[in-house]
Amino acid sequence: MESQELPYVLVDCIGGRLGVYEDHLGFLKKRFHLITMKEYLENKTLLSKKIRAIYVWYHKPAINEELLQSLPNLKVVASAGVGIDHLDLKLLSSYGVKVSNTPFVVSTDTADMGMALMLASSRRLVEGHEMAVSPDTEYFPVDWLGVEVSGATLGIVGMGKIGYKVAERAKAFEMKILYHNRNQRKKEEESAVGAIYCKKIDDLLQQSDFVLLAATLTPQTHKMIGKRELELMKPTATLINISRGLIVDQDALVEALQNKVIKAAALDVTYPEPLPRDHPLLKLKNVIITPHIGSATKKTRWVMMEEMAESIEAGLAGLPIPREVLP
């Protein structure tokens, strides 16, 4: 099939810091004629009616009403990852555009990341590494201690696919598992991992040694962990966030960490990302921050790309879209 016969798909850019991965291009170019935002803006008259899908990678390109008005034949927006808080679903639906994401493929890696952060924070791995490699270190202090993960109580806020996979891993560490979710899981699912449902988040916060956030960002979960919630946690507790930065009131978290309201935090997500270089979270010893890498493995990112391509092809063919996100 000649390249001009392939469906035209808008992408933000190729390569670089936020662009489509270079090693994904061979796969994508066999299926689509990729148009970057730069190319589109330089050739709007020619391209506006040809573009039928948008491939959203790292939340780019940003989709607003002006862009939608300029793309009369747009049918599908395929977005990488599970979060869709960067998309206005009602606006897209009003233009007859369908949306998909890749919620299942990210679950395993993100759950692994949650456990990695829990272990790294509890055993003070970052501080330990710095001590071990420092030119000023003359001896290792015997009273330099972490806290136990095995046998501790883990509270999971958001028991979807990622949260449940965290619970499966935590079971192997013989942890007591509590969870708070909009809906209670089936009894057999709870039994499989030994999880106990907390209808009220307060009960979970008061009992947990580790509180792990795996909830979706919605208006209801926006800054759901604030000053009041942090003060309910044990002073020996650690907060772990693998969901979205805006689920936590970051100013309240800084204050809680500075004043030892809680012991520590391990964050794969913040707001903004990255944080300003003078942000107080970056100066605290009891914080680990990673650059939003929950799903950042080569295999997972490849499968994400494959699933996005599958959704675009299905939508353009008038078939049911796998992993469609409804407004």
Question: Tokens 């927006």 appear where?
Answer: 77
- Catalytic residue (one of 22, 65, 174, 273): 273
- Catalytic residue (one of 244, 301, 307, 313): 244
Q: CA-to-CA distance for 13 and 36, rounded, in angstroms?
A: 5
Question: Is 292 part of the annotated catalytic residue set?
Answer: yes
Residues 6 or more apart whose Cβ sits within 8 Å of residue 35: 8, 9, 10, 11, 47, 50, 51
DSSP state of 263: S
Question: Is 148 part of the annotated catalytic residue set?
Answer: no
Count of H helices and E strands in the chain?
A: 13, 13
DSSP secondary structure of 161-209: HHHHHHHHHHHHTT-EEEEE-SSPPPHHHHHHHTEEE-SSHHHHHHH-S
Which residue, 273, 233, 274, 236, is CA-closest to 252?
233
Which token pair is 25? 């291009």
What are 151's strand-pairing partners?
none
3-state helix, strand, coil in the chain (%, to 5): 40, 15, 45
- Catalytic residue (one of 33, 52, 185, 292): 292
Active site residues: 244, 273, 292
